[in-house]
Amino acid sequence: MHDRHKLTLDAIRAAIDSEPNPQRAMESTVQLLARHLTDYTWTGIYLLEGNELCLGPFVGKPSPHTRIPLGRGICGAAAAEKATIIVDDVNSDPRYLACSIETRSEIVVPIMAGNEVLGELDIDSDKVAAFGPDDRELLEAVAALLAPKIAKPEDRRAAALPLES
């Protein structure tokens, strides 16, 4: 990972380690991602409730997609496949559910506990192909740090929460 990503991961690890409250750990995570990585124009967390992904804390413009069924959109695809999805050009991906017309690329990283999807990190960028191997490595590490914090169902009740970075 490049230094910027390493520093971001260190800051998020410190924030998550020192935050006993799961909701605040998620809030700090999306804020630190937005603050450290300027290409990340929308950073949010969706939490799986039944068969729907429900928007939790986010930094960026309000999204019309506060509830996404499994299998719909890039978000629903990543949760159904239990794998990270990177889309270099959202306008050429038929799965894409638009949040903002400025968005050009997207990465979605599932937050897993064993084989169970708890939720996911969803990041949009206004740049084409903004997300590479460093972003995948960083965000998969962040997802692994968050997973134990939100392992209990009562710790991941989603309420769409807009935040300042």
| Contacting residues toward ligand SME, per CB under 6 A | 42, 44, 63, 65, 68, 73-75, 96-97, 99, 106, 122, 124
Among all chains, which residue has been given the structure tokens 């520093």? 7
Among all chains, which residue has been given the structure tokens 């069924």? 69
Q: Based on CB atoms, which residue is closest to ligand SME, 65 or 104?
A: 65
- Beta strands (DSSP E) in the chain are 42-49, 52-59, 67-69, 85-87, 105-113, 116-125, 161-163
CB 163, min distance to ligand SME, A: 14
Q: Based on CB atoms, which residue is closest to ligand SME, 122 or 150?
A: 122
Task: Give backbone dihedrals phi and psi of 78, rounded to 5 degrees, phi first.
Answer: -65, -40
Decide: 101 and 89 in contact? Cβ < 8 Å.
no
Q: How far apart are CA 56 and CA 116, in angstroms?
A: 18
Q: Based on CB atoms, which residue is closest to ligand SME, 40 or 42?
A: 42
CB 20, min distance to ligand SME, A: 28
Q: How far apart are CA 64 and CA 99, in angstroms?
A: 6
DSSP 117: E
CB 26, min distance to ligand SME, A: 15
Position of minimal CB gap to ligand SME: 73
CB 75, min distance to ligand SME, A: 3
Q: Based on CB atoms, which residue is closest to ligand SME, 101 or 154?
A: 101
CB 97, min distance to ligand SME, A: 4
